Amino acid sequence: MLTVLLWHVPTQAYAESDPVLVGAGDIAECWLGFFNGTGGAKATATLLDRLEGRVFTVGDHAYQKGTAEEFQNCYTPTWGRHKARTHPTPGNHDYDTKNAAPYYAYFGATAGEAGKGYYSYELGAWHVVALNSNLTADAAAGQEQWLRKDLAAHRTLCTLAYWHHPVFSSGRHGNGPRMQTIWSVLYEFGVDVVVNGHDHDYERFAPQTSTGQLDPKHGIREFVVGTGGVHVRQFKTIQPNSEIRDASTWGVLKLVLHPASYEWEFIPVVGSTFRDAGSAECVPPR
């Protein structure tokens, strides 16, 4: 049986008005003074002050346990001033307080349905999916079903997904299997970019499949951006297809979303010199 998929392929040229998505994860650390308190989050929030566009977060907003007090005392004075333009996803430290209740209360409807935490939105010609990597098995199955329906209903050429725990990482936690099935779904639907946090470093991978096979034509490019302000940590085992890494710098990832391609730039805080930048075309329809 022949199946025909209809894709919306924008024809407009690059424009200065093409949308920007900028952010990071692992943000406001105010529980250990000798780790510089909220200094890192203050520095990255200052970067956001001069960057236009929507803000994404990939989890762990307020250490150590994502309590209401930690959100109020640590996140609000830093990244909190960009709350109105933020599209968040939760991390494991947000769930250290039962059911991540302060996280859902803080962000409200923007965070998706409380207890689920996954949702999608449009940004220019792109479809963007925010997912939750902290769900129980039953809830994760529901997320997968929702994701399939969502992607089937949004056949855009360019799609981006983000959540907390990376499938691939050379950092302290290493590769994580909990979202591998989700990666397979994203790969099946031709998603272009995945952004994660969890490991306190920056890493960019070449496009690959859910099993880590290099696939320059149809693979998904992953960025790990756990550099929002928490103390950074050194790499352990360097994974195949890891293209560039840094474990010394706070900063944010800026993505410019063109109709059929994207540009990326890692922007470090003042006083740091590490940068990473590039561009790529969106994955062609299968």
What token pair was written down for 144?
A: 């997968």
The CA-based dihedral angle spanning residues 159, 203, 178, 133, taken in that order and rounded to the nearest 10 degrees? -60
pLDDT tens digits, one per residue of 225-239: 999 999 999 999 999
Whether the model clears a pTM of 0.85, i.e. scores above it, the answer is yes
Q: Which CATH superfamily is domain 20-252 in?
A: Metallo-dependent phosphatases (3.60.21.10)
Q: Do 13 and 47 meet the contact criterion of CB atoms below 8 Å apart?
A: no
pLDDT tens digits, one per residue of 161-181: 999 999 999 999 999 999 999
* Residue in this structure with the two tokens 């994860």, named with its chain if needed: 25
- Residues 6+ away with beta carbon under 8 Å from 98: none
What token pair was written down for 209?
A: 């499949």
Strand locations in 17-156 (E): 20-24, 28-29, 54-57, 62-63, 86-87, 119-123, 126-130
CA atoms within 13 A on the CB side of 182: 32
pLDDT tens digits, one per residue of 78-99: 999 999 999 999 999 999 999 9
Per-domain residue ranges of the chain:
20-252
Summarize the confidence of residues 101-111 as an average pLDDT.
98
Summarize the confidence of residues 213-224 as an average pLDDT.
97
* Residue in this structure with the two tokens 């944010």, named with its chain if needed: 252
